[in-house]
Structure 1
Amino acid sequence: MADYLEAWQCIGCGRIEAPQPCIGVCRDRKVLLVGKDEHERTLAEVAALRKALDEARARLGRFARARPHEGQWERSWLALQAELRHTLAWLEQATASTD
């Protein structure tokens, strides 16, 4: 898991300061911070999307290796279309859950 900087944020103006002694060379700079909950939620979404992508690769890899039997091209094509529709529906559902 990621390391987090513990800092103090003013409930009035929003200023954030880390608890450490100043040596007189500080300069304020604009920084963007992400809360721990949001960061962890994003990490979970990324993990779910990677898992969905791996599953999609595995499903689609079956089609790359498929070889219809002689005289079965049409039947194989129809079966391939049905399986691809199923895979596309599954992929849409898998990625919609991260929205």
Structure 2
Amino acid sequence: MAETIEGWRCIGCGKVDAPRPCIGVCQDERVELVLAEDYAELAWRVEQLEGVLALIAHVTPKPERLGASWLALQARARTLLEKNPVP
């Protein structure tokens, strides 16, 4: 899991502040931040999609059930993609 720190964000301008005790060697650098709820949503989506990929990679249906198995996997993948459409 990703490390998180407590911080504050201005509801007006969006400024983010997360002060920590300084030991005198700090150098500011530009970083990219993401909201925890956005990260959690994407992490959930990746987990679900990896589950579908794991089925494709590790399940070998019987030859007579190959068509039905593939249709079931497609339906599962479509359901996930419909919940969060790709832009």
Report the TM-score range of the alignment, normalised by the length of the smaller protein. Answer: 0.5 to 0.7
**Distance in structure 1 (CA, Å) of the matches to 2:80 and 2:6:** 33
Q: Is 1:89 aligned to 2:48, yes or no?
A: no
Identity of aligned residues (%): 31
Corresponding position: 1:29 with 2:29: yes
| Equivalent residues, number | 84
Which amino acid in 2 is paired with 1:18?
A
Which residue of 1 is the match for residue 16 of structure 2? 16
Paired letter, 2:74: A
Q: Is the 8 A contact 1:8 1:17 kept in 2?
A: yes
TM-score after normalising by structure 1: 0.57
Distance 1:25 1:58, change over 3 A: closer
1:59-70 superposed matches below 5 A: 59=59, 61-62=60-61, 66=63
CA RMSD in angstroms, aligned pairs only: 3.0
1:37-96 Cα distance to aligned partner (Å, 9 max, x none):
01110111011011111222344x226xx4xxxxxxxxx6xx75x436524632542442
Q: Matches of 1:2 and 1:94 in 2, distance apart?
A: 27
Write the distance in 1 (CA, Å) between the matches of 2:73 and 2:50: 16
State how far apart, in whole Å, the 1-side matches of 2:50 and 2:29 are: 35
List alignment gaps of at least 5 residues for structure 2.
none
- Output the amino acid matched with 2:48: A
> Runs (4+) of structure 1 moved beyond 6 Å?
none
Which residue of structure 2 lines up, in the alignment, with residue 69 of structure 1?
Answer: none
TM-score (norm 2): 0.62
